[in-house]
Amino acid sequence: MKQEPVFYHGSIFKGLNIILANAKSHFDGSKVAYFTTDRVYALVCCRSRQENFVTMGPDKAGVQHYFERFPDQLRVMYDGKEGFLYQPVSCISLKNTKGHTWECATDVPVIMKEHVLNVFEEILHEEKMGNVIIHRYSEEDPLELKRCANNIRDELDDPVYAGCRDFLYRHFSPLWD
């Protein structure tokens, strides 16, 4: 008997009853509500829009890799911060668009599955369990890190960064050429 997957939606907001279909689909650009079957990815989504910079993705085996692009990025973004993992009441309307990503074109009723007191500590626990590989800033190629920082500098005025511009400036400007 095939076990049903567990779906998660990570948030910094407590007490949600509905996940609104107000995010932009990576698949076709429509408005959707997002869910994932990857708990680590849901944990990483427990961040504010003002601190919206994450470089993370699965390898061919499906294991997530988190890449720090400024010093102590993981700690800065998640240490001491609460997160809430929600689960849809029904997954019948969810559509798998790629890998661990699921979307729904309508609002999705949810229940809180888990309250995470410190998202940073929980991500480190997931690392110990082998569910995520964290590539720390100090271990990364300095040329790649410089290229990334300078790219942020060059793109900072793009409207896509409007909500997190101050955060990006604060953490990347010391790294610019």
Q: Is the pLDDT of residue 2 over 70?
A: no
CA–CA separation, 134 and 149 (whole Å): 19
Q: Are strands 132-135 and 64-67 parallel, antiparallel or unpaired?
A: parallel
Q: What pLDDT is stored for residue 49 in this prediction?
A: 87
More confident residue, 99 or 79: 79
Q: What pLDDT is stored for residue 114 in this prediction?
A: 96
Q: pLDDT tens for residues 148-162?
A: 999 999 999 999 889
Q: Decide: 47 and 13 in contact? Cβ < 8 Å.
A: no
CA–CA separation, 10 and 160 (whole Å): 21
Q: Is the pLDDT of residue 1 over 80?
A: no
The whole-angstrom distance between residue 66's C-alpha and the CA centroid of its chain comes to: 10
How many residues are there in the chain?
Answer: 177
Token output for 48: 């504010």
Q: pLDDT tens for residues 97-127?
A: 988 899 999 999 999 999 999 999 999 999 9
Q: Decide: 18 and 131 in contact? Cβ < 8 Å.
A: no
Long-range contacts, 19-26 (Cβ 8 Å, 24+): 19/86, 19/88, 19/107, 19/108, 19/110, 20/107, 21/104, 21/105, 21/106, 21/107, 21/108, 25/97, 25/103, 26/97, 26/98, 26/101
